[in-house]
Amino acid sequence: MNDSGLVRRQSGVALWRQIADRIRAAIADGSYDETGMVPPETVLAADFGVNRHTVRAALSALTQEGMLRPVQGVGTLILRRERLNFPISRRTRFTEGIGTQARELSGHVLDHAEEPASAVVAAALDVAPGTPVLRIESLRMADARAVSRSTAWYPLPRFRGIADVYARTGSVTAALKDFAVEDYVRVKTEISAVHAEPGDLSDLGLAPGAIVLVTAALNADPHGLPIQYAVSRFPADRVQFTVEG
């Protein structure tokens, strides 16, 4: 199922990395589920039309990522990792959304500060540009792996101090409840994908060339007042979204 594809040279992406990306994708869509192993290096080399050394470099990178374990005399075992599914709907909640897909979920506040609203943030929160807003940087983990890195903006003075509550509870929903927001709805979500930037490499533990899914989301209270605008970055090899109509 991984045939029909010569790999492209002189493209600025090393052959071993192109091959690593394709093997990762093949593992994700279950192509090797029957054996639980990657095909032998010589077979892969023939399939991709490259030298065995090049395949070895690709497998070595995937082994480094913790996705494979080579066993001499046996083959290269696949250590399966499922992709977390993150539902997006009018009632999007991070913790409920991931639900039972991970044993351990947590949210961490990395930093927070009050600052004047940029044009984009001001438009989203429906305030004048330059109005003070609260910015919170956070990291979400599932089973000890980073699944999102967010920057969220909240209007002031309504939510002054919410960062402390979030830091204590690890939940946005709980923190909002503390500020008398019993319910809220997801008004709009923009989804795009870009290559990992230097910040993603450290925050999300990614390699250069990796893919980051980016969402820009607006949440509002039941009266329609914007309460949060957030830009979040997700590692595409660990997360997907589902939009339920």
For the sheet with 37-38, list strands across it: 37-38, 75-78, 68-71
13 is a contact residue toward a copy of itself (CB under 8 A): yes
Q: Which option in DNA, a copy of itself, none does residue 97 bind, with CB closer than 5 to 8 A by kind?
A: none
The residue within the footprint of a copy of itself, chosen from 25, 46, 79, 225 (CB under 8 A), is: 25
Cβ atoms within 10 Å, residue 88 = 16
Supply 146's token pair. 């980073």
Q: Which option in DNA, a copy of itself, none does residue 211 bind, with CB closer than 5 to 8 A by kind?
A: a copy of itself
Nearest approach, Cβ of residue 58 and DNA (Å): 8
Give the CA dihedral 15, 17, 23, 25, nearest 10 degrees.
-120
Supply 104's token pair. 């351990």
Q: Report the sign of the C-alpha dihedral through residues 217, 84, 4, 1, in that order.
A: negative
Q: Which option in a copy of itself, DNA, none does residue 56 bind, with CB closer than 5 to 8 A by kind?
A: DNA
The residue within the footprint of a copy of itself, chosen from 40, 130, 205, 208 (CB under 8 A), is: 208
Phi, psi (degrees; rounded to nearest 5) at 24: -60, -45
Interface with DNA (CB under 7 A): 9-12, 14-17, 38, 40-42, 49-51, 53-54, 56-57, 59, 70-76
Nearest approach, Cβ of residue 49 and DNA (Å): 7
Q: Which option in DNA, a copy of itself, none does residue 136 bind, with CB closer than 5 to 8 A by kind?
A: none
Q: Which option in a copy of itself, DNA, none does residue 189 bind, with CB closer than 5 to 8 A by kind?
A: a copy of itself
65 neighbors 48 (Cβ within 8 angstroms): no
Q: Is 153 exposed, middle or buried (0-12, 13-18, 19+ CB in 10 A)?
A: buried
Binding site for a copy of itself (CB under 8 A): 4-8, 11-14, 16-18, 20-22, 25, 28, 57, 61, 83, 85, 88-90, 185-195, 197-199, 201, 207-209, 211, 213, 236, 240-245
